[in-house]
Amino acid sequence: MKSQKRQTLFWNGLMVTLVFIIAFLLSVLLSYINARSFPTSVMAQVPMQQRKSNPCSALTQKDFTGISDAPTAISSAQVVPATAQTPEYCDVKGYVTPQIQFEVQLPTQNWNRRYLQVGCGGYCGSLKASSESSAALNQNFAVAFDNTGHVGGGIGAVSALWGLDQPQLRADFGYRSEHVTALAAKAITTAFYGKDPSYSYFQGCSNGGRQALMEAQRYPNDFNGIIAGAPAAIQAPLNGEYETWNGRANQDSQGNAILPSDKLALIHQAAIANCDGKDGLADGQITDPRVCTFKPELLRCSGDGEANCLTTAQIAVVNKLYGGVKDRQNKLLYPGSQTIGSELGWAGSSVGTTGMPPFAAEISNSYLKYLAFPKSPPASFSYKDWQFTALGFDRLRPLGKVYNATNPNLKAFRDHGGKLIIYHGWADPAIPPQGTIAYYQAVQDAIGGLANVQSFAQLFMLPGMYHCQGGTGPNRVDWLTSIITWVEQGKPSTKVIASQTAANSAGGGFSNPTEGASSNAKIIRTRPIFPYPMQARYNSKGSIDDAANFVGMMPSKVPDDHINWIGNDLFKPE
């Protein structure tokens, strides 16, 4: 009886064990089948909106009002599906008090632990992705941009009506917007991924270049690497004096244009013929226009009605543009002017086209009417009423402290480990390159010489390049890779390679809207660009259109980049 009971217990135990074993094997089999059908790599590719949890939309439920100096609210957060140009990303929109609108784009997969913030041009006023932000997003950066605290900038962002007697909006535009956007965007990025960015970068050109320098000067801890292109850094004298001068240089007493845009090619061809070979190579571009001696008087008409010549009045216009803005005592009111070789870029910038006023007149008019003074002038005032005097320059100083990014003391940025790349086109018709060089000289004076400055800040000057892009010389450069390599690997660029496409090799106009439209456009010339003051020199072998056939050399005479102008004190360290 006992034996039978033992046998029963044995078989019952065996059956229970077998059941557990079978259940275990079944679970292993099911796991294997699931793994074969949905491997981890595929599950990672399931669109965010199809997963049970959606950390993107959950961002709208998080409280960001406690961010120090940047109380933030999120208005929307939604997943944007992948396209041929961009990966799937979480698109976050919101604002920092009082009304700095921003957009943050967060890749839902394969984030590279980098954050890029992109500046804006003109007087800003809108949320719009740029080619730089889109390219970075495609490389799995978290990216952000903002409207600098106001809505509306008009066509080409040249209207500043939003700033009419508005101190807060002026301050946000002047210096605050990029700092608080960085604080807000990085906090949102951390909340989304559960970890901070390893590296933070800023990239901007024109006003965005000014914003870039402002960050390095005022908020040195915001970014590890900064790219400042064609910076509008000396903004009060730039928009109040220089652009006003250029906007009026081509007007007669009745406001009619003196120099037609169809004469610009004539002037440019004569300037190139006179100066091209001074760098040792006749290649259609000028390495450093400061060595040129071209005079427009060479084109003076011998009689009336000649097409391929300039009248006395037209020569006077050209000399005004080459000479820069001055008062009656011949004192420079801005440290720069239109350069020899930039003439094709004057179309639309300083010389109006198709009956439209030039860009210089529009940007100047808005500045003087709405941004320049604590109490704005009457509505009837215009840039045509401005007087080019030392007294007028001094009137621009108070609010210049809000907009100017001219402090050369970058020691805090350097000590933080920050790296800075500045670049400017030698043929920039909108912002004179000489001002950027003068600022770089001031940094050397403040830091202690070129070698000390180049340990953390490099300047690159591009022959023939217009404003931020386009021009008669190679102008497309991968600045982002250069700054990343410097910041993350400690390797500064000994040179960068600039390329030129057929689309922008011969056209006029200072903006070249078609440039960059196709990354597959045929490249017709590449050139190395070396850290200033080094220049590219042809090695006398091979094609002059191939960067490999050039070496870097110091100029035979290193230029003195101190410019004596009425605003010398603006470059004093703070």
CB 331 within 8 A of CB 565: yes
Which residues fall within 8 angstroms of residue 427, CB to CB, at 6 or more apart?
Answer: 286, 289, 339, 341, 342, 344, 345, 463, 464, 465, 466, 471, 472, 473
Residue 259 sits at φ, ψ, to 5 deg, of -100, 115
CB of 161 closer than 8 Å to CB of 366: yes
HEC letters along 415-427: HCCCEEEEEEECC
What's the one-letter identity of residue 115? Y
What is the pLDDT tens value at each position of the chain, 574 positions in all? Answer: 444 545 544 455 555 455 455 545 545 444 443 433 333 322 233 344 334 458 999 999 999 999 999 999 999 999 999 998 899 999 999 999 999 999 999 999 999 999 999 999 999 999 989 999 999 999 999 999 999 999 986 545 688 999 999 999 999 999 999 999 999 999 999 999 999 999 999 999 999 999 999 999 999 999 999 999 999 999 999 999 999 999 999 999 999 999 999 999 999 999 999 999 999 999 999 999 999 999 999 999 987 667 899 999 999 999 999 999 999 999 999 999 999 999 999 999 999 887 788 999 999 999 999 999 999 999 999 999 999 999 999 999 999 999 999 999 999 999 999 999 999 999 999 999 999 999 999 999 999 999 999 999 999 999 999 999 999 999 999 999 999 999 999 999 999 999 999 876 645 445 444 444 455 678 999 999 999 999 999 999 999 999 999 999 999 888 999 999 999 999 999 8
CA distances from 279 to 191, 195, 389, 533, 542 (A): 54, 52, 37, 14, 18
Q: Which residues contact 285 (CB under 8 A, 6 or more apart)?
A: 276, 341, 463, 464, 472, 473
Contact partners, residue 177, CB within 8 Å, separation at least 6: 96, 100, 146, 147, 148, 149, 211
pTM listed for this prediction: 0.89
With 0-12 / 13-18 / 19 or more C-beta atoms within 10 angstroms meaning exposed / middle / buried, residue 54 is: middle
What is the total residue count of the chain? 574
Residues 400, 567 contacting (CB under 8 angstroms):
no
Structure tokens at 464: 């023939």
284 φ/ψ angles, rounded to the nearest 5 degrees:
80, 5
Measured between alpha carbons, how far is 145 from 134 in angstroms, rounded to an integer?
11
